[in-house]
């Protein structure tokens, strides 16, 4: 994917147009590439069509004018989008178009000796017939075909070429087999027919669209300042791991899983959770204690306490798996512990037998609690005693 990502970043840096999503900066860490893009809040043009249906001609014309101006600018910079469709056309807070997603775009440098592009790509319903024919195509005329399909969708509310069978769909596209709905004006029908011309050599050009009577109505091309030549040094540096462009990721500190009131209540002895108790001499297979120590300190203290007892320690965040290297009555004793946060300065530590003999687990816990006297605030028995006293 590296070449494709590099091409997309380089392409977006070349395009400085008010109707194209702006790329502001590119950075990288040792593991990630960060692309800082313009924040566009109005959603996709596709959603507007799905929610509201077909548009009136004046509204559709406005979007089409913005699209053509942006595509014309891209072509002037040697950039061919190759995946133009309503899903890749965003709207800003003012309802203006923003062309996005240059992941399948091509630069003029990719044109072969025959002057054509040869990679078949794009979304089938919007792809030009010459792209499907796999004989090479001109990126500009192929983009223009996609613009014609978009204009049809805006005005009709449905696709000009659609079929559940892909081969039938390709045949319809290759023959430009479509019918305009009767509510379209003659000017709109005529323009669509000239854009959706299956022969790319006879297809209308952007220059001809700009002087078309239907297109020109109310047309106000955007005024914007041409910026200085784009420098792609930072793009190359990012992909070559240049230290000048490397940034350090700030890792969020992990915290113990929070425990809510319902989970605390479920620990109450009054609910008689029998699954917490073993059948051997009434010994518990699971117990817990509270602590006012920081979570990291609790984890470290447990680790220090169990290693002399012959346990191997496996840690992940605030969970631990303790494995006794010596086999007991029912194999090796395995114990799981997890620290939960119930308040900023209060934690509950759950200690649970996951494998082995319950009596051995009971003895292990007695030894562990002795080693953790400076960590334990109240044991489960203390908490249950308090609960009974409160109830009385």
Q: What is the CA radius of gyration of the chain?
A: 33
Q: Quick check: 259 and 340 in contact, CB under 8 A?
A: yes
Indicate which residue of 47, 72, 83, 382 is catalytic.
83
Is 113 annotated as catalytic?
Answer: no
Containing H/E element for 17?
Answer: none
268-294 burial: b if 16+ Cβ within 10 Å, else e: eeeeeeeebebeeeebbbbbbbbbebe
- Report the sign of the C-alpha dihedral through residues 121, 40, 52, 50, in that order: positive
Q: Assign residue 331 a region: left if phi > 0, alpha if psi is -120 to 50, beta otherwise?
A: left
Q: How many CA atoms lie within 13 A of 118 on its CB side?
A: 8
CA dist., res. 256 & res. 296, Å (int): 9
79-80 vs 106-107, strand pairing mode:
antiparallel
Catalytic (active-site) positions: 83
């Amino acid at each position: 994917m590296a070449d494709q990502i590099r091409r997309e970043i380089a392409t977006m840096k070349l395009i400085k147009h008010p109707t194209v999503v702006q790329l502001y900066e590119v950075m990288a860490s040792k593991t990630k590439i960060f692309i800082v893009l313009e924040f566009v809040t109005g959603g996709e043009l596709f959603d507007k069509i799905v929610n509201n249906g077909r548009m009136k001609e004046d509204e559709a014309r406005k979007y089409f004018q913005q699209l053509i101006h942006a595509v014309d600018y891209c072509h002037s910079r040697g950039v061919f989008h190759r995946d133009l469709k309503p899903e890749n056309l965003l709207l800003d807070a003012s309802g203006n178009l923003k062309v996005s997603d240059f992941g399948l775009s091509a630069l003029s440098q990719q044109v072969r000796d025959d002057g054509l592009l040869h990679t078949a790509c794009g979304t089938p319903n919007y792809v030009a017939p010459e792209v499907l024919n796999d004989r090479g195509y001109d990126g500009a005329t192929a983009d223009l075909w996609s613009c014609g399909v978009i204009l049809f969708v805006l005005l009709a509310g449905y696709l000009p070429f659609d079929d559940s069978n892909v081969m039938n769909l390709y045949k319809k596209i290759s023959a430009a087999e479509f019918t305009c709905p009767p509510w379209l004006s003659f000017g709109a029908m005529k323009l669509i027919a000239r854009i959706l011309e299956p022969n790319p050599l006879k297809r209308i050009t952007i220059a001809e669209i700009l002087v078309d009577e239907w297109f020109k109505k109310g047309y106000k091309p955007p005024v914007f300042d041409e910026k200085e030549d784009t420098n792609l040094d930072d793009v190359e540096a990012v992909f070559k791991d240049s230290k000048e462009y490397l940034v350090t990721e700030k890792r969020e500190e992990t915290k113990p899983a929070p425990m809510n009131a319902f989970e605390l209540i479920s620990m109450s002895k009054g609910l008689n959770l029998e699954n917490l108790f073993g059948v051997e001499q009434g010994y518990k297979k699971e117990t817990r204690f509270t602590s006012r120590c920081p979570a990291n300190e609790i984890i470290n203290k447990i680790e220090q306490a169990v290693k002399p007892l012959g346990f191997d320690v496996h840690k992940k965040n605030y969970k631990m798996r303790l494995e006794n290297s010596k086999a007991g009555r029912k194999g090796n004793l395995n114990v799981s512990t997890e620290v939960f946060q119930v308040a900023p300065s209060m934690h509950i530590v759950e200690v649970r037998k996951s494998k082995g003999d319950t009596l051995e687990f009971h003895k292990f816990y007695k030894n562990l609690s002795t080693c953790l006297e400076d960590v334990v605030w109240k044991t489960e028995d203390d908490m249950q005693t308090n609960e009974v006293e409160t109830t009385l």
